[in-house]
């Protein structure tokens, strides 16, 4: 992919630049339905006078948004004059670009980070939340025994793990993990089950092992099977692919015990906070998760993690070229992104 920069709205108080990039994984990332070695993304830099801040969007191949989607949004973008009302501004963007939540999330995160620079208030303080950090799980994609052993060794300091499984591979994966580690773990099937009774049987086996939840066992549109399983499972059944934005919560409540909230999918921090608060009101469980983004998204998401029951913000731990892990000047970051 060619690297380029565009600058818009140079006469406005807030200016924008953006930089396409490619994040590379430490290991091939295998799910029940796909395998990836990296993720295309775009970094956004907003500047207002002496202040500046970054945002990020990723482009997952099984979602519809791409760099072209982002080009279209930015080419038609009217930035706000200040960061005083981010929530309303982002809602207006969603009305104008209803199928661009990943791209809007990059703007949303950059605006929240810019507000932090201007006001000195962290994102958690902007929403009057506890800024106390929470432990994150570490995700292990579908792996061979040798691959899993390497991942566990390299991440031995993690407090618990998330195992990606499929109906065909779940027994092998769990047996391999429990042979290698006595750490707690959770399960994410990524729509990998087709047999209801098989999923139910595994929910009981997982409960016996102390597993906290099973994530998205069936196809995202198969609410009937999820409703059936929810009524019988001894552990919570969590929606991931079936849950995208706030408007999905009404149908989620009947079929799932909780949701995996990702700021990419819902369109940023502002809607993420609204979703997690509504989830609490509905008496549902929640995970705050990620989509293999770098520290730009992970750090912002962690700021609202106090609203979630579990944290799965390990995207920056899965990639090899996260230039935002340590503090750098904007000039250094731009140079590294353009290499």
pLDDT band at 5 (very low <50, low <70, confident <90, very high): very low
Instruction: Tell whether the model's pLDDT for residue 247 goes beyond 50.
Output: yes
319 vs 275: CA distance, rounded Å: 28
Instruction: Tell whether the model's pLDDT for residue 321 goes beyond 70.
Output: yes
Residue 1's pLDDT is 36
- pTM, to two decimals: 0.94
Name the residue with higher pLDDT: 172 or 32: 172
pLDDT band at 32 (very low <50, low <70, confident <90, very high): confident
For residue 138, what are the β-bridge partners? 161
How many CB atoms are closer than 10 A to CB 80? 19
Share of the chain above pLDDT 90, in %: 91
Residue 239's pLDDT is 98
339 vs 334: CA distance, rounded Å: 9
Instruction: Tell whether the model's pLDDT for residue 7 goes beyond 70.
Output: no
Q: Which fold has domain 6-126+326-334?
A: Enolase-like; domain 1 (3.30.390)
Q: What is the mean pLDDT of residues 277-287?
A: 97
Q: What is the mean pLDDT of residues 81-110?
A: 97
CATH of the domain spanning 137-317: 3.20.20.120
- CA dist list (Å): 145 to 29, 150, 226: 15, 9, 30
Q: What is the mean pLDDT of residues 128-146?
A: 92
Instruction: Tell whether the model's pLDDT for residue 12 goes beyond 70.
Output: no
Q: What is the mean pLDDT of residues 110-131?
A: 96
Residue 170's pLDDT is 98
Q: What is the mean pLDDT of residues 281-303?
A: 97
Residue 10's pLDDT is 44
Share of the chain above pLDDT 70, in %: 96
Residue 276's pLDDT is 98
Residue 272's pLDDT is 98
Residue 192's pLDDT is 96
User: 239: closest CA among 198, 204, 275?
Assistant: 275
Task: Give the start-to-end residue ranges of the domains of the chain.
Answer: 6-126+326-334, 137-317
Residue 3's pLDDT is 43
Q: SS in 3 state form for the chain? A: CCCCCEEECCCCCEEEEEEEEEEEEEEEEECCCCEEEEEEEEEEEEEECCEEEEEEEEECCCCCCCHHHHHHHHHCCCCCCCCCCHHHHHHHHHHHCCCCHHHHHHHHHHHHHHHHHHHCCCHHHHCCCCCCCCCCEEEECCCCHHHHHHHHHHCCCCCEEEEECCCCCHHHHHHHHHHHCCCCEEEECCCCCCCHHHHHHHHHHHHHCCCCCEECCCCCCCHHHHHHHHCCCCCCEEECCCCCCHHHHHHHHHHCCEEEECHHHHCCHHHHHHHHHHHHHCCCEEEECCCCCCHHHHHHHHCCHHHCCEECCCHHHCECCCCCCCCCCHHHHHHHHHC
219 vs 216: CA distance, rounded Å: 7
Instruction: Tell whether the model's pLDDT for residue 132 goes beyond 90.
Output: no
Q: Which of 24-38, 162-176, 194-208, 307-321 has the lowest mean pLDDT?
A: 24-38
Q: What is the mean pLDDT of residues 283-306?
A: 97
Instruction: Tell whether the model's pLDDT for residue 6 goes beyond 70.
Output: no
Instruction: Tell whether the model's pLDDT for residue 8 goes beyond 60.
Output: no
Residue 72's pLDDT is 96
Residue 33's pLDDT is 79
Q: Give the model confidence (pLDDT) of 189-223 as tens digits.
A: 999 999 999 999 999 999 999 999 999 999 999 99
């Amino acid at each position: 992919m060619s690297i380029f920069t565009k600058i818009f709205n140079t006469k406005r108080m807030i200016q924008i630049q953006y930089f396409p990039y490619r994040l590379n994984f430490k290991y091939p990332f295998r799910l029940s339905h796909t395998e990836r070695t990296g993720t295309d993304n775009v970094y956004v830099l907003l500047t207002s006078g002496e202040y500046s801040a970054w945002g990020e969007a990723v482009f997952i191949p099984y979602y519809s948004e791409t760099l072209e989607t982002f080009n279209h949004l930015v080419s038609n973008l009217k930035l706000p004059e200040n960061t005083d009302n981010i929530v309303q501004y982002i809602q207006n963007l969603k009305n104008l670009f209803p199928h661009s939540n990943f791209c809007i999330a990059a703007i949303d995160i950059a605006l929240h980070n810019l507000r932090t620079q201007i006001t000195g208030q962290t994102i958690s303080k902007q929403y009057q939340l506890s800024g106390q950090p929470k432990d994150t799980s570490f995700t292990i994609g579908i792996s061979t025994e040798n691959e899993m052993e390497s991942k566990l060794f390299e991440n031995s300091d993690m407090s618990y793990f998330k195992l990606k499984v499929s109906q065909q591979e779940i027994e092998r994966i769990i047996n391999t993990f429990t042979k290698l580690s006595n750490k707690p773990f959770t399960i994410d099937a990524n729509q990998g089950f087709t047999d209801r009774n098989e999923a139910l049987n595994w929910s009981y086996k997982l409960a016996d092992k102390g597993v906290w939840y099973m994530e998205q066992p069936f196809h995202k549109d198969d609410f009937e099977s999820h409703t059936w399983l929810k009524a019988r499972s001894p552990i919570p059944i969590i929606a991931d692919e079936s849950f995208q934005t706030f408007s999905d919560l009404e149908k989620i409540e009947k079929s799932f015990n909780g949701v995996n909230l990702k700021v990419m999918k819902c369109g940023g921090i502002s809607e993420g906070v609204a979703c997690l608060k509504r989830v609490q009101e509905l008496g549902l469980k929640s995970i705050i998760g990620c989509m293999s983004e770098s520290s730009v998204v992970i750090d912002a998401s962690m700021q609202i993690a106090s609203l979630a029951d579990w944290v799965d913000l390990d995207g920056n731990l899965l990639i090899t070229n996260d230039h935002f892990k340590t503090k750098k000047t904007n000039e250094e970051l731009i140079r590294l992104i353009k290499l």
